[in-house]
Amino acid sequence: MVKIRLKDGSVKEYPSGVTVIEVAQDLSEGLARVACAGLINNERVDIRTPITEDCELSILTFDDEQGKDAFRHTTSHILAQAVKRLFPNVKLAIGPSIQDGFYYDFDTEQPFSPEDLEKIEKEMKNIVKESLPIERFELPRVEAIQLMQERGEDYKIELINDLPEDAIISFYKQGEFVDLCAGPHLMSTKPVKAFKLLSVAGAYWRGNENNKMLTRIYGTSFTKKADLDEYINKLEEAKKRDHRKLGKELELFALMEEGPGFPFFLPKGMELRNTLIEYWREKHKAAGYQEISTPIILNQELWHRSGHWDHYKDNMYVTKIDDMDYAVKPMNCPGGMLVYKTKMHSYRDLPVRLAELGLVHRHELSGALHGLMRVRNFTQDDAHIFMLPEQIKDEIKNVINLIDEFYNVFGFKYHVELSTRPEDSMGSDEDWERATTALREVLEEKGYNYIVNEGDGAFYGPKIDFHLEDCLGRTWQCGTIQLDFQMPERFDLVYIGQDGEKHRPVMIHRVVFGSIERFIGILIEHFAGAFPTWLAPVQVKVLPISEKYHEYAQSVVEQLEKNGIKVEADYRAEKIGYKIREARLQRIPYMLIVGQQEQEESKVSVRSRAKGDEGAQALSDFIERIKDEIASKKIDTQGLDNSIE
């Protein structure tokens, strides 16, 4: 018999060898029907896995991330099976689950067409109807290779050869289809009834641009058709909100062939960008930060000293100056440390908070570039805090409070994740444990529920990441707090302690926006281009009914400008209805229509993005109203709650 501690804390006894699915059936037939995988002593396993010793067990369903992963991984195998049925000569590469879906890579002579996707999806439905049992089996290396040779699966053979000598080589079989896979998977194809193939893209084998380009099919799947329909609707809304499309329509930024991955900000985009920067400067000055600026190009020795060369050299741009090797900076921290070293510090000076809006460059593959979300140059709102060991917790809390204030002003919800030591890291176990413990204790003292990402920290220290949730429920990793005991050692940073001796400060790396360019992209999609008035590049558009009222319109513009309001006027010889429609398409918060009556009464007719026609108002009243709205940074929810027409 084995004792199994269940998720609710109860303990039950079962015969040794009982499977996870049998436990689920014993607990509830309903639970067994929706079980996707199991978690035995925190290790994810198939629901067919036998239990032979005492353990803790959780039954994972689609409501659990790891259960969802198993469900969608199974769907990727159904996709691959359908492709092999329809296109027998196609070779299989890999097919994992990903956030919100799955993909599978294929080696095919020509990319799949939209008509091919329809045929594949139809065949997938047939496979689901066949309710094929999914079986797991293991083979010794020689037999595993032989099996894949017989099936002509060259990519699978390469994967097997790269496995460690002691690796368990497992396969999954459903009907005639067999795939090399570690799992886990569902019991059969039957539960996968709500799925959709979404797109086709190119992808290099193993992500290496020197390898062959494969064809990748993306898809998603759910347990209920209603959930799938909701997701597809969100995708359609996301297409309408695409920041690349809106950025062009609203004249915010441009992407040009002359500089792929290097965005051009247009005048209205600069208004938005500068508003964000002004707010950033205001809040950082109030929080005790000093702003600095460090060079874009620094010598290569610096990057060896910091450790970035070993971890980032493939993504760095390099050059020669006076026969010496230099690199364009991919991040700001080494420059910040050099600034700290420009003078000797006393313990009384600490913490020293140095903030920088630093332009950095990273060589991203052309296939990875995506509007403002993935670029080759961007501005990081970095700050580096140098502190005493006893100041660690207070400084982390201060940064969390600052980040919270920033995200709240934009109306973002967010969650936090704690990332621990990666394999490719530097420093002692003791330092890493001390740093990780400090971050964990602060999160718990602040009352945050957080996710732990084992092994996903920076190479020099653990970190807290802040993931924003936009109006479509998508999450974006922006802010981060990284605790670092390593860089101060590498750069020989010191302060003079109370004892008159030199001591090593502790360091925090942190960003709030992350990348200003990427944050702007997120804002465009979050608000669908309908920015809150305080952020809008043009806050008011003045629309004279005819040329007779241009002079009065100009006087309105001048009074608005005098009060710091961003305003434009439309003096074109167009009908007023056309001008209003144009201003609405530009998502301008307020339109002021001026004609004979408005001129005679020194008023303006107000149309707002949120409420439409608001009638005539005294210009002075409108100015006070909009100034209050800008000062309070009120969020206009029009762009959040309504889909784009």
384 in a known ligand binding site: yes
Give, as one character, the DSSP assignment of residue 461. B
Q: Is 463 a catalytic residue?
A: yes
CB 187 within 8 A of CB 135: no
Q: Which of 509, 541, 607, 609 is catalytic?
A: 509
Place of tokens 């035995």: 40
CB 221 within 8 A of CB 624: no
Place of tokens 């965005």: 263
Q: Which of 36, 181, 333, 471 is catalytic?
A: 333
Sign, CA torsion 250/253/258/259: negative
In DSSP terms, which residues pair with 189 in a beta bridge? none
478 in a known ligand binding site: no
Q: Give the integer Cα–Cα distance in Å for 275 and 345.
A: 34
Q: Give the integer Cα–Cα distance in Å for 560 and 626.
A: 10
Q: Give the integer Cα–Cα distance in Å for 36 and 27.
A: 15
Q: Which of 105, 382, 431, 484 is catalytic?
A: 382
333 in a known ligand binding site: yes
Comparing C-alpha atoms, which of 93, 158, 72, 84 is closest to residue 119? 84
Q: Where are the alpha helices (DSSP H) in 134-189?
A: 141-150, 154-162
CB 17 within 8 A of CB 50: yes
Q: Which of 185, 241, 273, 384 is catalytic?
A: 384
Place of tokens 């079986």: 135
Residue 431: how many other CB atoms lie within 10 Å: 19
Sign, CA torsion 308/312/315/319: positive
The helix-helix angle for 114-129 and 65-86 (nearest 10°) equals 110
Tokens of 23: 């436990």
Q: Which of 44, 156, 361, 362 is catalytic?
A: 362
Tokens of 611: 């409420």
Comparing C-alpha atoms, which of 207, 222, 217 is closest to residue 74? 222
Q: Is 429 a catalytic residue?
A: no
Q: Give the integer Cα–Cα distance in Å for 549 and 547.
A: 5
- Kind and range of the H or E run holding 357: strand 352-361
Tokens of 119: 């045929």
Give, as one character, the DSSP assignment of residue 498. T
Tokens of 146: 């032989």
Q: Give the integer Cα–Cα distance in Å for 276 and 284.
A: 12
Q: Is 503 a catalytic residue?
A: no
Q: Which of 284, 311, 329, 463 is catalytic?
A: 463
CB 140 within 8 A of CB 169: yes
Residues at the binding site for Zn(2+) are: 333, 384, 509
Residues at the binding site are: 333, 384, 509
Catalytic center residues:
333, 362, 380, 382, 384, 463, 509
